[in-house]
Structure formats: structure tokens, C-alpha cells
Amino acid sequence: MIVYYTGTGNSRYCAQMLADKLEDELLDSFQFIKNGISAELSSSTPWVFVSPTYCWQLPHIFEDFIRRSRFEGCKEAYFVMTCGSDIGNAGDKIQNLCEEVGLTFKGVLPVVMPENYIAMFEVPQSEIAKRIVLVAKRSLIRAVKLIQKGERFPERKVHLLDKFKSGPLNPFFYKVFVKANAFYATDACIGCGKCANTCVMNNISIKDGKPEWGDACTHCMACICGCPTEAIEYGKKSLGKPRYMCEEYQK
């Protein structure tokens, strides 16, 4: 079974493609995480967990979801982490997580997809994004072959800098940068409520027809990138940048 979490669709796209090629079931963890509930799942095929990379690790909310859920049947677990450039040394912590929940770690595969972090970085224009997705599809095909043969994903060389990024830098980054206080809605807001519905953290409420942000943000970028009128900005960082939302996978 393919189990995924996504903010702006990259990981959903990869999960959909994996489910298609492996002819396997697909499960979106969104409602489980949004409603704070654990999942009790069973699969006769290997588990494939697909998620974005947040600060060179699995997103904390996806890691917590895996930790509190039960995975019966097959015990093998593959991880696919979509990223803008690299996942650092995410594999070590994932291996420990697998041991904790009784799964056998079969490796983690970084898949470079378009950068979505518009609150921090530049994001690619749509033509470049399409090219990045084409390259990503080739790595996913290789991943499918490995999973079908029951082989591990290739071992990755980990350098000191990777250990630093996934180690001390990860909690530092969350503490210092992952905050909702710079979000605001402009006059383009039509009060549709989509941002509140798509917030996995329930961190947005609509008051007097406009969104207000609380303190529980995980910087998934779903609200700012999914707004139909592009009414959401993040301080000055997002001004003039294209909003990024990955298209649905087509067979």
C-alpha cells in the first residue's frame, strides 16, 4: 500500500504514479492527520510511504502519524521523499522510526520535484517545473522495479553536512522559521474558506469573511499556493512569486 502526505501535490503525484505502476492501493494521510486520529491498516504488499522533505527530515506531522498508526501484514517499508534538492541524512531517523513501529526499513529514495517553499525560496516557473517532473518520473520507474524485485533502495552516501542539516539544524529551523505570523490575505480574498479546509493543522479560521492564522503552522504551503485568487501573501517573501501546485498524475 502506498501511504502519502502532501502539501502542494508533489508527493501525491509521485504516490499516484507508484500506485498505478505497482497496481497497489493508495491512501492519503490528510484526514488522519487533520483529525488527529491514528490509522489501523493492513497490506499484503510492501508499504511505500511518500512525503515531502521538511528541513532535511520527514515532516514531523507525517512521522507522528506513522508512529501512532498500526501497519499489519507485510512488514517491509520503503520511503520516497520528494524534495527541492536534498534530504540530508533523513534515512537514519526513518530507520529508527521503522524499528519503533515494527517495520523493516528498505531504504529511502530522494526524488527531486519542483521547489514549493515560496515563503523562503524561489519556485520554478511552470515550464521548468514540468521538466523537473519528467526527470522525477524516471527515478520513480527505477523505484518501482526495485520494489517489485523486493530489493532495497540504493544506499546513499551521507556526509558530515547532511548529518548537521538533518540533526541540529532541523529543530532549529522549525523553531525559528516555521511560523504562520507573516501570512495575511489581501483584498483579493473572496472568503471561500478553501485555505481553512486545506490546512492539515486546522490553523486557519475564517472571521468576518477573511482568514486568520493561529500558531500551529507546519509551513506546508497548501494555503498560500492553493488560494484560487492568489490572495495570500507571506510577508514580502512571496510577493510576485508564482504559486506552485502540482497537477494530478495522469495515467
Ligand X SMILES: Cc1cc2nc3c(=O)[nH]c(=O)nc-3n(C[C@H](O)[C@H](O)[C@H](O)COP(=O)(O)O)c2cc1C
By CB under 6 A, tell whether 219 contacts ligand X: yes
The nearer residue to ligand X, 72 or 141, going by C-beta atoms, is: 141
Cβ atoms within 10 Å of 63's Cβ, excluding its own: 18
Residue 238 binds: one of ligand SF4, ligand X, none (C-beta under 5 to 8 A by kind): none
By CB under 6 A, tell whether 123 contacts ligand SF4: no
By CB under 6 A, tell whether 59 contacts ligand SF4: no
The nearer residue to ligand SF4, 71 or 117, going by C-beta atoms, is: 117
By CB under 6 A, tell whether 94 contacts ligand X: no
What torsion do the CA atoms of 55, 65, 144, 106 make, to the nearest 10 degrees?
A: 80
By CB under 6 A, tell whether 91 contacts ligand X: no
> Which positions ≥6 away from 213 have C-beta within 8 Å?
180, 181, 183, 203, 204
By CB under 6 A, tell whether 118 contacts ligand SF4: no
Q: Tell me how far apart the alpha carbons of residues 10 and 2 are, in angstroms, rounded to a whole number.
A: 14
Cell of 61: 506531522
Q: Tell me how far apart the alpha carbons of residues 193 and 207 are, in angstroms, rounded to a whole number.
A: 10
The nearer residue to ligand X, 93 or 219, going by C-beta atoms, is: 219
For ligand X, the binding residues (CB under 6 A) are 6-11, 52-56, 82-86, 113, 115-117, 219-221, 246
